[in-house]
Amino acid sequence: QAFSGYPDVFPPIFISMVKAGEEGGNLAKSLLAVSDQLDRSYSLHRKVKGALMYPAIVIGVMCVVGLIMFVFIVPKLTSAFKEFNVDLPLTTKIVVGLSDFLQAHLFLGLGLLLAVVLAAWVAIKSVQGKRLIDTALLHLPVITPLIRQANAARTGQTLSSLLSAGVEVIHALEITADVLANHHYRDVLLLARGAIQKGEPMSVIFKAHEDIFPPFLSEMVAVGEETGKLSDMLRETGLFFEAEVDQATKNIATLIEPAL
């Protein structure tokens, strides 16, 4: 109850596992479990973020270099083109026109660029913008497999930790849904919660959404439900996909570099 008064400091998974530990008389075990879970979750987030940092930096540098070229380099080439007195291709005319505009209205151009960036930032932060980004992340080469594996790892780790601590499965699914950032994955977990409330196995829901969750997850959940060892199966699944994410983050820079 004391921790729940500070939701900005203590996440729902922490509060729920502490509550389960107090009710079951194994608070120390629950605290160790939530500590391990939060550490794994942070490590997973850091790996994915680190993998995407390289292309983000390269693209940022490309934009800066492009701006410098439009302002300082292209005008020198434009004077040479005018001396040739030839008809330039359309793409070259666009480059020259953009360069002339930036030379004549540099601050206006920078202001427009800043306005576009701010508008994009506001759009991304909106509910519709987030849903659009979530959908786009599931249709990108190289990035999509990483997103699928990361969400599968987080689902397995979080659900396993909650169930092993004694949290009811319906409440555990709600908390896990809150942990996931992508709304498509949250929706699947909420559907799984509804299936359990109706007396159906949640593996059926995961199997019906193998377009976003890897098939291995639904198979392991089904085995866990049949054998009564759901928490153990989820933990093994989480560890497996965590290793997959670790390997993918090492390879992603090598795969993206030629395209950049």
Residues 206 and 188 sit within 8 Å (Cβ to Cβ): yes
Residue 149's Cβ-count burial label (10 Å; 0-12, 13-18, 19+) is buried
Task: Say how far apart CA 207 and CA 205 lie, in whole Å.
Answer: 5
Q: What is the mean pLDDT of the chain?
A: 86
> What pLDDT, on a 0 to 100 scale, did the predictor assign at position 103?
80
pLDDT in tens, 22-77: 887 888 888 888 888 888 888 878 887 887 788 888 888 988 898 888 888 888 88
DSSP code, position 5: G
Inform me whether the pLDDT recorded for 259 exceeds 80. Answer: no
> What pLDDT, on a 0 to 100 scale, did the predictor assign at position 13?
84
* Alpha carbon separation from 26 to 9, 16, 29, 51 (Å, rounded): 23, 13, 5, 38
pLDDT in tens, 78-94: 877 777 777 888 888 88
pLDDT tier, 249 (very low <50, low <70, confident <90, very high otherwise) = confident
Structure tokens at 168: 């009811």
> What pLDDT, on a 0 to 100 scale, did the predictor assign at position 215?
93
Instruction: Taking residues 145-150, report their average pLDDT.
Output: 88
Residues 29 and 21 sit within 8 Å (Cβ to Cβ): yes
Instruction: Taking residues 168-176, report their average pLDDT.
Output: 89
pTM of the predicted protein model: 0.74
